[in-house]
Amino acid sequence: MIKNTFIRYILLITSGFIYTASFSPLDFKIGIFISIFIYFYLISNSSRKSSILESYVYGLAIFTSGVSWIFNSIYYYGGEYFLFSIMMTAMFIIFISIFFIPIGIFINKQNNLASIHYPLVAASIWVLMEIIRSNLFGGFPWLLAGTSQVGTPFDSLYPLMGVYSVSFIIVILSTIMVTTYYSPTRFRIFKIYTLFISLLFVLINIVPSQSTDFKEPIKVSVIQPNIHLGLKYNQLQLDNIKNKYIDILDNEINDFVIMPETAIPKIYQSDKKFYNDLIDKFGFDFVTGIFNYDHSQDKIYNSMLMIENKKEFFYNKRHLVPFGEYTPLENIFGYIADILNIPMSNIEHGEFEQNSMHYKDTIIYPLICYEIAYPSLIRPKEDKYGLIITISNDAWFGNTFAPHQHLQIARVRALESSLPIIRAANTGISAILDKRGRIVDKIELNHSGYINAEVFPSKGLTPYMYFGDYPILMLIFSIMLFNWKSYKKYG
C-alpha cells in the first residue's frame, strides 16, 4: 500500500497521461491497462472521500493531456483571446472530469477487494459513466477506453457489442490484478476470469461474418485541399480556394469524388455555378460539404450534398457541436458566442429522419465531422449494400492529437457496422477504411492531394447494429443489481 500522498497523486497524474498515450497518434495500447490498474489500485486503498478526489484528479490528468486541443480551436479561431481561451478550455476539462467522481464514490476501501465480483462491479461503473458522458448534454464520446484498442484482437468484439463492451473487458482485465493481489484465493479468481475471457475470444472469433461485399467496387477519389482555416473563411481568398480544388481535380480522378466538410465557405444556393462548372468540366458525380440555405424556413444547415447525374441530394447534419455550430441555452451562454465570433456558428439541427442517399445501387450513410462519434446515427439496412461517407474539417484543431483521435473513432465505427468508410477532411486525415477498420489508404495531416481507391459496399447487420447498446446496459445493470442485493444481504 502506498501511503505517501504526494507519490499517490504523482502516480495518478502519470497514469492519466499514460491513458491518453494509449490512443492515436501514440498508440501505446497496453498503456491503458497499466493506467487503469494503477488508478483502481490506488482508489481501492482510499477512504471514500479520498477516492472521490483521486478519481477527479485522474480525470483531470486524462482530459488535460487528451483534449487540450480544444484550446487550439477556441484561441486561433475565436478571436485569439488567450486568457478567455484558457479559461474556456479549463472549464470544459473541469466539467468533463466530474464523470470520474461516481467511480470514486462506489470503489474505495469499503469494498471487498477480495471478492470475485470486484472486477465486474468496477467495469460496470466505469462503462456506465462512459455511456452517460457520451450522451448527457449532447455528449462527449471522446477517449472512451474501448476506442484505444482498434487494430488488436478486440477487433472481433466491436461488431458484436460495440465500443463499450471493449471498455468493459479492458477494465476487467486491469482490475483482476487488483483483486488477485488482495484475495486469499487469488489463483482461483485469476483462473476463472482467464478462462471466461479466453472462451469469450474463442467464441467471437468463430462467429461467422455478418456482412457480404458487393462484387463490383465503387471507384472513388477523395480530395484533401489542406486549406488553413484562417484563409478558408476569408472571402477575399474564395477564388484561391476554388482554384486549389480545380488544380487537384485536374488529375486522373475517378468518376465519384468526395470533398470535405464545407468545402467552399459560401452558401451553396448562391454559388451553384461553381459546382455546375466542375461537373461540366470534369464530368464526375460528387459528394461535398456545403452550407445549405432552406429558403422556406429561413434556416442554414451544415450539409452534405451529393450530385449524381446532375440531381441533387441533401443531408443536413443532425448532431451539432456546441458553440462551434450553435449556442446552447442562448439566453445564458449567448455572450460566449459573441466573444468567440466563430464563422457560421448559427447552424440549425437537421431532422433525425431524412431521405436516404443512394449512389447507383449503394446506400450512402452520411456523417459530418463530430457525428462519426455516435454509432446510433448509423442505421444500416440489412438487405442493401452500403458504405459510410464522413466529411470533416479538422483544421479547427491544428497539428494536435485531435485529427488522429478522430480517425481512430472512425475506425471503430467501421468495425461496429462492418461497413467501409470514406473519409474526406480538409487538412487531414483523409482515409479509406475497409469494413474491418483497417486503413487502406490515407493522406497525412497537413498535406494536400487526393486518393484514388476502390471501395466494396457491404450489406448485412452486425449484432451491434441490430441491438445497439442494450445488451451491455442490461449486463451492467444486472451486475450492479446483484451486487447491491448481495451487499444488503451480507453487509
> Which residue has better confidence, 84 or 17?
17
Which tens digit of pLDDT belongs to each residue from 193-251?
778 778 877 777 776 667 888 989 999 999 999 988 766 556 678 888 999 999 999 99
What's the predicted TM-score (pTM) here?
0.92
Q: What's the pLDDT score for residue 125? A: 95
The arithmetic mean of pLDDT across residues 301-318, rounded, is 93
Q: What's the pLDDT score for residue 192? A: 77
Q: What's the pLDDT score for residue 490? A: 45
Q: Could you tell me the pLDDT band of residue 96, with boundaries at 50, 70 and 90?
A: very high
Instruction: Report the alpha-carbon distance of residue 92 to residue 367 in Å, rounded.
Output: 25
Which tens digit of pLDDT belongs to each residue from 371-426?
999 999 999 988 899 999 999 998 888 889 999 999 999 999 999 999 999 999 99
Arithmetic mean of pLDDT over the chain: 88
Q: Where are the domains of the chain?
A: 5-209+470-490, 213-461
Q: CATH top-level class for 213-461?
A: alpha beta
User: Grid cell 450492479 — which residue?
Assistant: 480
Which tens digit of pLDDT belongs to each residue from 127-176?
999 999 999 888 899 999 999 999 998 998 999 999 999 999 999 999 98
Which tens digit of pLDDT belongs to each residue from 459-477?
999 999 999 999 999 999 9
> Which residue has better confidence, 187 or 106?
106
Percent of all residues in the chain with a pLDDT value above 70, rounded to a whole number: 89
Instruction: Report the alpha-carbon distance of residue 382 to residue 386 in Å, rounded.
Output: 9
